[in-house]
Each structure stands twice: as C-alpha cells, then as structure tokens.
C-alpha cells in the first residue's frame, strides 16, 4: 500500500510496489493486491482495513515523514485501536543525526518518534523516520518510508526476517520463489523471445506435467540497463531453487550464444559498467573516455563501480566542435563520422594518459547534423600508441533514449572488443 497524494495525481509513479512484489516472491510470499491512497486520514484507515481484511499482512510505504501531511502513523494507531506513544530511543537517534550535522532538531521531526503502542521499531539507518512492525490480531502491518532506498533497506533488515519467522510459525516454510535476471545487449526483445520460444514451450509442457516445480521466463526492456531475461522458479528450498536457476541460466546462455554470441553481459544487479570494469581490470588496463552526444553519461556510469579510481582515468565531454579539435585533436571535417570517433578515442588516450580510449559521437536529435539523422552514432576505440577502430550504430528513440542506448551500446562494444583489441 503506497501512501501519497502525488501518486494519485500522477506526479510520481509508484516503483515500490514492483520492487516489493519481486522481493516478497523471493521470500516465498505471494502478493495479492497493491493499493495507493492519498494523504487523507479516513481513506488511509479505510485502505488499511480493506487490506487487512483480504490479506495476512500489509506493507505500507510512505507518510512517515516529518510534515503535517505525513499521517500514516496516526492511521495505523487508529486501525490498531491504540494511542501513539513517544519512543525515546528513536527520538535520541533523530536528535543525534541532527546534531552530527550541526543542526537542531525541529519540532516536526520529533513527530517521527511517535509510535503506535505495541508496535516494534525497525531502526532508521539512512533517514530520520523509523520503520514500524505493528501486530493487528494475528495479522501485521509493516510501515516503511516511501523513499525507495530507505524502503528497500528496511525491507531487508526488518520485514523479510519477520515474514520468514511468521511463515515458519505457520509451518509454511516449505517452498521458495526465486528468480535470476540475465542482462543482455545486442538482440531486440522480440528476437530474444523468438530465439527462446522452443525452450519456453518445453518449460510450459513440463509445468503442466509436474504440477509443482516450475520455471517461467519473461522479458523486460530496461533502457540503459539492457534487455532483461528473467527466470523465475518455484522449488522446495533455496538450494533446489539455486540449482534450477543455474541449469536455466546455462540453457539460456547456450541458446542465445548459438544465435548471437556473447549477448549476456551481467546477472541480476550487474550493470554494463560492472562488466566493463571486470574486462578492463582483468587485463590491468586503464580507461579514458571522450564523449559528445552522451554528454558525460558514459563517464558517470563508469564511476558507479566501487574502486573505479584504480582504472578509470577520466573523460572529456567534447560537446562543442572546437573542444573536439583543440582538446582531443579531432581534424577538421564532419564530427559525426568514423574518423572523428577514432580521433576522439586516440585523443582520450593521449590527454587522459590511459591505455585504452573509448569515444562516442553522434546525433541525439531532434535535428540532423552533418547530414546525419538522429540516432546515428559512432563508437571509437583506441589503444595508447596503437591502432584505432570504430563502429557505426543506428539507435532508435527520442533525444533521451538515443543517449541512453548510445551509452550502453558503447560500453557493450568495449566489453566485447577488449579481448580482440589486446590480441591484435
């Protein structure tokens, strides 16, 4: 259950529901309903009662902040039919957080230490609002902040362990739902589906005959995160689920590999920059980047990798043509071209002192440039003192999507070419 008028007004989209659905499945808990409700006391109470009537447990996200429209605590207390009491440990933690930042706690922040009587606290770690575990008869309401990373942290520390304990006590610890995501780049979503169609058909057959242990495959295009192939299995326990996922992963890699080579660049949370980091560090190289239409996106992805300073030297965002020429040494002529991409990659090696240079130039649109239409992208690669090469791509979408696709395409090309580049 998500709380916040901004959700109902369409000012932000709820992403917590999808995240929780995925992670509840991993604990073996089925999600039957999602709800969203505005910052209105009576309607939050009504939604909570509805949710408790049709489910064994409810997770409420949002409405725990310090301001007057944060009223989830009060609504839960009404549903529990108990008063709010001040939790001194929570109050101290909030006060300490403020004093550590050299600020004084405002009265509205003190509201965040109010807890429905009989509720347990999930201590806050990143923000000021604690989470709550609120028993309602033999059912339970969990309350966590709506900020995604605070919600996720409290789910892992507080909610998941409590759910597992409840499942055990009910003798329902049998069975887990687990999934694994293979991240790919280089095939469209429908091409992936076509290539895997025969395998998916055989899984459907097996599910019908087994009636229990099943595996399903789904596809999800995720922009700069790649196109995801998700395998979900239901099995007796973690070990069985893990073995089944391993077998499915091997089959999928095999089928895709036969069709289009090394399209799987990562598993689960492993993004394209992690794959690049692995390839670069395995060969003890350093990397420099020169980018034009992506405007810093490629570099900003690379520094996401912990320890990037060991191998990432830096980048030049050569947005203006004169910067391409004066800083990177790109010759006169069209800047959306193979020659410009290669010169940019060579320039990146030289200016940034890196072993390998990666470059991206192209047209983000909406207008054409140098007679090239939006979506035309050149990726360049160079070795310090060695040869340069380039590839031309045509990527779809608007300005924003062209940038994102150009970024993942460039990083994927680097990942695939590193072995070859070094063997030259």
167-206 binders of a second copy (CB under 8 A): 177, 179, 181, 189-191, 193-194, 197, 200
In the list 267, 317, 339, 422, the residue contacting a second copy (rule: CB under 8 A) is 317
What is the footprint of a second copy within residues 97-126 (CB under 8 A)? 101, 106-109, 126
Cα distance between residue 270 and residue 288, in whole Å? 21
Shortest distance (Å) from residue 10 CB to a second copy: 3
Residue 78: count of CB within 10 angstroms of its CB = 18
Shortest distance (Å) from residue 423 CB to a second copy: 27
Q: Where are the alpha helices (DSSP H) in 61-105?
A: 72-80, 88-100
First to last CA, the chain: 56
Nearer to a second copy (CB atom), residue 19 or residue 82 = 19
Evaluate the omega torsion of the peptide bond into residue 211 and state whether it is cis, within 30 degrees of 0: no
Shortest distance (Å) from residue 119 CB to a second copy: 22
Shortest distance (Å) from residue 298 CB to a second copy: 7
Cα distance between residue 410 and residue 404, in whole Å? 10
What is the footprint of a second copy within residues 53-72 (CB under 8 A)? 54, 65-69
Q: 160: exposed, middle or buried (C-beta count within 10 Å: 0-12, 13-18, 19+)?
A: middle
Residue matched to tokens 């990798």 = 305
Cα distance between residue 177 and residue 163, in whole Å? 14
- Looking only at the bridges linking them, the beta strands covering 287-291 and 312-317 are parallel
Cα distance between residue 372 and residue 420, in whole Å? 29
Contact 74, 60 (CB under 8 A): no
Nearer to a second copy (CB atom), residue 101 or residue 423 = 101
Nearer to a second copy (CB atom), residue 290 or residue 424 = 290
What is the footprint of a second copy within residues 343-362 (CB under 8 A)? 351-353
Shortest distance (Å) from residue 221 CB to a second copy: 7
**399 forms part of the interface with a second copy (CB under 8 A):** yes
**327 forms part of the interface with a second copy (CB under 8 A):** yes
Nearer to a second copy (CB atom), residue 310 or residue 387 = 310
What is the footprint of a second copy within residues 370-389 (CB under 8 A)? none
Contact 236, 175 (CB under 8 A): yes
- Looking only at the bridges linking them, the beta strands covering 176-184 and 264-267 are antiparallel
Cα–Cα distances (Å) from 327 to 108, 112, 323, 330, 353, in that order, read 52, 53, 5, 8, 13
Q: What is the largest CA-CA distance in the chain?
A: 76
In the list 3, 28, 37, 389, the residue contacting a second copy (rule: CB under 8 A) is 37
Shortest distance (Å) from residue 367 CB to a second copy: 10
* Nearest alpha carbon to residue 291 among 181, 198, 407, 175: 407
**9 forms part of the interface with a second copy (CB under 8 A):** yes
Cα distance between residue 370 and residue 118, in whole Å? 69
What is the footprint of a second copy within residues 219-248 (CB under 8 A)? 219-222, 230, 232
| Span interacting with a second copy, options 85-93, 163-171, 323-331, 333-341, rule CB under 8 A | 323-331
Shortest distance (Å) from residue 424 CB to a second copy: 26
Shortest distance (Å) from residue 121 CB to a second copy: 20
Binding mask 276-315 for a second copy (x = CB under 8 A): -------------x-x-xxxxxxxx-xxx-x-xx--xxxx
DSSP state, 240?
H
Nearer to a second copy (CB atom), residue 109 or residue 390 = 109
């Amino acid at each position: 259950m998500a709380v916040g008028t901004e959700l109902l007004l369409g000012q932000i989209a709820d992403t917590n529901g999808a995240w929780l659905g995925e992670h509840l499945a991993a604990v073996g808990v089925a999600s039957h309903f999602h709800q969203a409700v505005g910052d209105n006391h009576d309607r939050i109470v009504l939604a909570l009662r509805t949710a408790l009537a049709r489910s064994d447990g409810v997770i409420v996200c949002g409405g725990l902040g310090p301001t007057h429209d944060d009223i989830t605590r009060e609504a839960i207390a009404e549903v529990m039919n108990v008063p709010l009491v001040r939790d001194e440990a929570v109050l101290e933690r909030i006060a300490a957080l403020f004093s550590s930042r050299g600020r004084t706690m405002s009265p509205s922040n003190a509201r965040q230490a109010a807890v429905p009587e009989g509720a347990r606290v999930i201590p806050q770690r990143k923000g000021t609002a604690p989470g709550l575990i609120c028993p309602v008869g033999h059912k339970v309401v969990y309350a966590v902040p709506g900020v995604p990373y605070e919600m996720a942290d409290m789910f892992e520390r507080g909610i998941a362990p409590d759910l597992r304990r409840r499942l055990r006590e009910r003798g329902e610890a049998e069975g887990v739902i687990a999934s694994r995501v293979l991240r790919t780049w280089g095939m469209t979503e429908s091409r992936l589906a076509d290539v895997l169609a025969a395998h998916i058909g055989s899984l459907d057959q097996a599910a019908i005959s087994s009636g229990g242990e099943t595996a399903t495959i789904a596809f999800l295009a995720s922009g700069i995160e790649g196109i995801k192939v998700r395998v979900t299995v239901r099995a007796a326990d973690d070990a069985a689920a893990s073995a089944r996922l391993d077998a499915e992963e091997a089959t999928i890699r095999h089928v895709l590999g036969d069709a289009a080579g090394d399209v799987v660049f990562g598993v689960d949370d492993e993004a394209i920059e992690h794959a690049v980091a692995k390839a670069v560090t395995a060969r003890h190289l350093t990397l420099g980047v020169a980018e034009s239409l992506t405007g810093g996106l490629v570099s900003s992805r690379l520094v996401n990798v912990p320890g990037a300073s060991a191998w990432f030297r830096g980048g030049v965002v050569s947005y203006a043509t004169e910067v391409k020429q004066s800083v990177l040494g790109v010759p006169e002529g069209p800047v959306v071209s193979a020659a410009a991409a290669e010169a940019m990659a060579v320039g990146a090696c030289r200016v940034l002192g890196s072993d390998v240079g990666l470059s991206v130039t192209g047209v983000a649109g909406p207008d054409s440039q140098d007679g090239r239409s939006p979506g035309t992208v050149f990726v360049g690669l160079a070795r310090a003192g060695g040869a340069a090469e380039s590839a031309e791509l045509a990527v779809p979408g608007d300005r924003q999507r062209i940038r994102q696709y150009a970024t993942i395409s460039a990083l994927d090309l680097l990942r695939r070419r590193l072995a070859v580049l070094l063997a030259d």
